[in-house]
Amino acid sequence: MAQVLILVDHTSAKVAKTTGELATFAKRAGDCVGLIMAPAGQGQALGEQLANTLIDQVIAVESDDFARHGAACLVDAITQVVEKVRPDAILIPSTSAGKEIAGRLAIRLNSGVITDAVDFASDLSATQSVFGGSFTVSSRVRVGIPVITIRPSAIEAEVGGSAPAFERMDVVISDKAKLVTITDTKPAVKGGRPELTEARVVISGGRGTNGDFKPVEALADILGAAVGASRAATDAGWYPHTHQVGQTGKTVSPQLYLACGISGAIQHRAGMQTSKTIVAINKDPEAPIFDVADFGVVGDLFAVLPQAGQAILAKRA
């Protein structure tokens, strides 16, 4: 049976939801080892949050150097853990930080790397959606220990029963890995909605909103969804560029993607085509977005979205 090491993404206090997703993929291949790279003294508290996942064993490496010196330092430490544990594959969340770690780690391990996978199979192969979602590619790393980054929300995390075994591991971080020092970081200002790339539900607005995102936001708040936007909407200054979905924006893969007043250009589809269920609302029955939609409503978003919100609230009452 294979052993798969997953990198646990976390803030200083909270384990990210990608952890349960990576664990669910890892268990397809065999045992799952969760690796926490924690600030000094915080490994145990973070490890306790993994009680309801499918992780079998937790390894915590603690050092304040990770925050102080960044990716090089993390990779130095992860390499030492990998050399001790000798996993058959390593799964990392496909965030920008995760992809930086994956690239550096693959070089250190002399391994192949696959990024932005949307699926992972028991034979350690990974599936990617490429060329704007036009092709699905299945590939396998043939050199070294496969390092694979997995898109957030690519799978529904399964819940586990028992608490995983916990172990601390010591590493020696080289001076070379400490050459860069991070002097200051400022977290992005966040609203009350979930992070776009991690949300289970994303509702996006396009040029069809004519700059009025209120109905999109209102339904997003009813569904606990993140708000996305097409480039037409972000270029017009109607919504921040950080919310743009697509080829030159963010890639999302939620359980439900609702496209409102978006035509469905190939560059937009590149960022959302791997969503599990796609719903489109558009006045034009010929809009290309309907080609990729599982469900479509031909209508005015300003009429459809409030009605949908009311219907959902009425069902909950």
Ligand X SMILES: Cc1cc2nc3c(=O)[nH]c(=O)nc-3n(C[C@H](O)[C@H](O)[C@H](O)COP(=O)(O)OP(=O)(O)OC[C@H]3O[C@@H](n4cnc5c(N)ncnc54)[C@H](O)[C@@H]3O)c2cc1C
Query: How far is it, in rounded angstroms, from Cα 230 to Cα 301?
Result: 15
Nearer of residues 253 and 263 to ligand X, judged by Cβ: 263
C-beta neighbour count of 311 within 10 angstroms: 10
Query: How far is it, in rounded angstroms, from Cα 73 to Cα 50?
Result: 24
129 binds ligand X (CB under 6 A): no
- Segment 228 to 247, residues that bind ligand X, using CB under 6 A: 230-233, 244-247
Query: How far is it, in rounded angstroms, from Cα 254 to Cα 197?
Result: 8
Stretch that binds ligand X, among 25-33, 54-62, 153-161, 300-308 (CB under 6 A): 300-308
* Beta strands, E only, 63-164: 89-93, 113-120, 126-130, 135-139, 147-150
- Segment 168 to 227, residues that bind ligand X, using CB under 6 A: 206-208
Smallest distance from ligand X to CB 243, Å: 11
- Segment 255 to 274, residues that bind ligand X, using CB under 6 A: 261-263, 265, 267-268, 271
Nearer of residues 25 and 290 to ligand X, judged by Cβ: 290
27 binds ligand X (CB under 6 A): no
Query: How far is it, in rounded angstroms, from Cα 117 to Cα 100?
Result: 15
Smallest distance from ligand X to CB 151, Å: 16
Nearer of residues 97 and 236 to ligand X, judged by Cβ: 236
Among 30, 108, 302, 309, binds ligand X (CB under 6 A): 302
DSSP labels, 153-216: TSSPPPPPSSPPEEEE------SGGGSS------PPP--SSPPTTT-SEEEEE-GGGTT--HHH
Q: The tokens 């979930």 sit on which residue?
A: 194
The residues binding ligand X (CB under 6 A) are 206-208, 230-233, 244-249, 261-263, 265, 267-268, 271, 281-284, 287, 300-302
